[in-house]
Amino acid sequence: MATIKFFSSAVLLAALAACAQPALRQPAATADITIFSINDFHGNLQAAQPVPYMATLADPGHPGQQMSVPAGGYAYLAALLKQRRAAAPASILVGGGDLIGASPIGSAILRDEPVIEALNQLGLAATAVGNHEFDAGAATLLRKLRGECPATGCAYPGFRGAAFDYLAANVSEQGSAQPWLKPYVIRQVGEFKVGFIGAVTADVPNLVAGDKVGQLRFEDEASAVNRYVPELQRQGVAAIVLLIHEGADYAGAANDPSYRCEGLHGPIIAISKKLDPAISLIVSGHSHQAYTCKIDGRLVMQGGSYGAYLSEATLSIDRNTRQVLRAVAYNHLIAQHQLSAEPQAQQLVQHVAALTAAVRNRPVATLAGALMRDSAGAAFDSALGNVIADAQLSQTQNQGGAEIAFMNEGGIRADLPSGHPAPPLRLSYGDLYAAQPFGNTLVRLRLSGAQILALLQQQWQGRTADDPKKLFVSDGFSYRWNPASPIDERVQDVRLNGQPLLPEREYSVVVNSFLAGGGDGFSVLKQGTQRQSIGQDLEALEAYVQAQGERLANVKTDRVRRAD
């Protein structure tokens, strides 16, 4: 018995000793990786005027009141990214397209080359191609990516091309099944291999002048993306992320903790519903909205535009099964007053500013009040839209004249001036360029009254009654629209200088070259005859603003009226 007691005591003492030692840590069953993303940057390197994005925040100095603050700017984006990377070391930065193109003048006159250098500095790994990457043509895009200079030389000293990958699973050359750009890449993020598939809206041919992308074919987004999922899975990826330049409209907050996003609507919803379940995250773009939502349980996010937000998604992955168990996201507002500019990024911004100062800062005119690109209240028109249409009509006066001008809403990229500065409003050439950055020519053509009526009706093709793809019209042209009527009857009482539009009569019309080629889905304009080029759209706007000056504050926004 004594032997047994001794043995029992020894076992007990050994057990107590073991309890006194620190327990061996078991490895966690899951690990997190972070996907940072930006979309629709559009070359907005500068943080000074014009500021493309003003955010409304609670004013800490005045409880219950709000204040408007500038957001974005490359140097501030770089500063916040550095902070967030320090907190999430297993991370990667990717893009949702339109990182270049439709850029402000400081970037545009340097052909967006410094923007690509800035993205290299940020450590961007890959991005979807967007429609605006094609603004200068497919061949020019490839040249930029490779760092090849044209015969006249590169515009930005030391330009070396993109150190990151542009992806487009749904773009191929006409007559070829091979993707025009890489369809996907695999990158190591922390412990895991992650597959990134890229795609762009299949609507590119309606968004880019036809001669710029005529040799390319744009396939249904979901069909093309799904084709590469098995290929990625065979290579052992733990997660698949879709980078797609297509999105949704959303009137809610930039972050929805519930991820329900009531009221979210747009093409990305139907695309997401058709995607392979293996895709855990969608980084979207194109609609310039900020949201964090889930569509049938799949996380979809977008970070506004112009570098105003840095999007951050965290994927929790099971170490054993290599499956994504959880996905969450947050859009960080890049409020300039809360950050200090990152030094290396600020040096690039200052270099670009110095190279372009003479052109950007050239004075043009003084305005009595800002001209806004968006419609105010219940108005269909916008003040700036009407001014641009009037400027284009005025451009024809010394070249045989025209009777009507149309301006597409999507071709106006900023207010005049942007950033809501205090009066007096002294416009620079850079302000004009921010509003109209595409460098379109103006085209005079002839359309019958019946064709003009059909053109106006195309504003509602594929759109809800209260969300048309607007055409702004020149002074003297007017009509009413009835949201309750079918599309082919929605436009009513069309008049030119007070007289009814005659279906059989031909009219002289001026539009920009993008519209003249059927851009934005306005295919009726492709039927126009007797086409003539009559100068540049930006030259027309500059001349008109100089001539009209402070009188532009009186422009009316009642040319198009709602019938009910």
440-495: per-residue pLDDT in tens?
999 999 999 999 999 999 999 988 888 899 999 999 999 999 999 999 999 999 99
Predicted confidence (pLDDT) per residue in 91-107, tens digit:
999 999 999 999 999 99
**Rounded to the nearest 5°, which phi and psi values hold at 294?**
-125, 130
Reply yes or no on whether the pLDDT at 412 is more than 50. Answer: yes
Reply yes or no on whether the pLDDT at 5 is more than 50. Answer: no
For the chain, how far is it from start to end, CA to CA, in angstroms? 104
> Smallest Cα–Cα separation from 542: which of 528, 530, 527, 552?
552
Order of strands, edge to edge, in the sheet holding 309-318? 165-167, 124-128, 91-95, 30-38, 309-318, 324-333
Q: Work out the average pLDDT over 502-525.
A: 96
Predicted pLDDT at 505? 98
> Please, is 202 exposed, middle or buried when counting C-beta atoms within 10 Å of its C-beta (0-12, 13-18, 19+)?
buried
Predicted pLDDT at 52? 61
Q: Residue 70: which pLDDT band, with cuts at 50, 70 and 90? A: confident
Reply yes or no on whether the pLDDT at 3 is more than 80. Answer: no
Reply yes or no on whether the pLDDT at 561 is more than 50. Answer: yes
Q: Residue 183: which pLDDT band, with cuts at 50, 70 and 90? A: very high
Residue 105, SS3 per DSSP: helix
267 cis-preceded (ω within 30 degrees of 0):
no
Show the 3-state SS of 405-446.
EEEEHHHCCCCECCCCCCCCEEEEHHHHHHHCCCCCEEEEEE
Pairing of strands 279-283, 239-245: parallel
Q: Are 105 and 439 in contact (CB under 8 A)?
A: no
Q: CA 74 to CA 55: how far, in whole Å? A: 16
Helix H or strand E encompassing 139: helix 138-146
Residues 6+ apart with CB under 8 A from 384: 371, 372, 373, 412, 415, 416, 435
Percent of the chain with pLDDT over 70: 94
Reply yes or no on whether the pLDDT at 200 is more than 90. Answer: yes
Helix H or strand E encompassing 165: strand 165-167
Q: Are 287 and 247 in contact (CB under 8 A)?
A: yes
Predicted pLDDT at 534? 94
Residue 192, SS3 per DSSP: strand
Q: Are 341 and 408 in contact (CB under 8 A)?
A: no
Predicted pLDDT at 40? 97
Q: Work out the average pLDDT over 186-211.
A: 95
Reply yes or no on whether the pLDDT at 56 is more than 90. Answer: no
Reply yes or no on whether the pLDDT at 324 is more than 60. Answer: yes
Q: Work out the average pLDDT over 513-525.
A: 94
Q: What is the pTM of this model?
A: 0.89
Predicted confidence (pLDDT) per residue in 335-350, tens digit:
999 999 999 999 999 9
Q: Work out the average pLDDT over 101-127.
A: 96
Predicted pLDDT at 10? 44
For residues 310 and 28, the model is more confident at 310
In eight-state DSSP terms, residue 520 is: G
Predicted pLDDT at 554? 87
Q: CA 268 to CA 285: how far, in whole Å? A: 9
Q: Residue 558: which pLDDT band, with cuts at 50, 70 and 90? A: very high
Q: CA 15 to CA 18: how far, in whole Å? A: 5
Predicted pLDDT at 416? 92
Q: Residue 25: which pLDDT band, with cuts at 50, 70 and 90? A: low
DSSP string over 324-350: EEEEEEEEEE-BGGG----HHHHHHHH
DSSP string over 220-288: -HHHHHHHTHHHHHHTT-SEEEEEEE---B--S-S--TT---TT-BSHHHHHHHHS-TTEEEEE--SS-
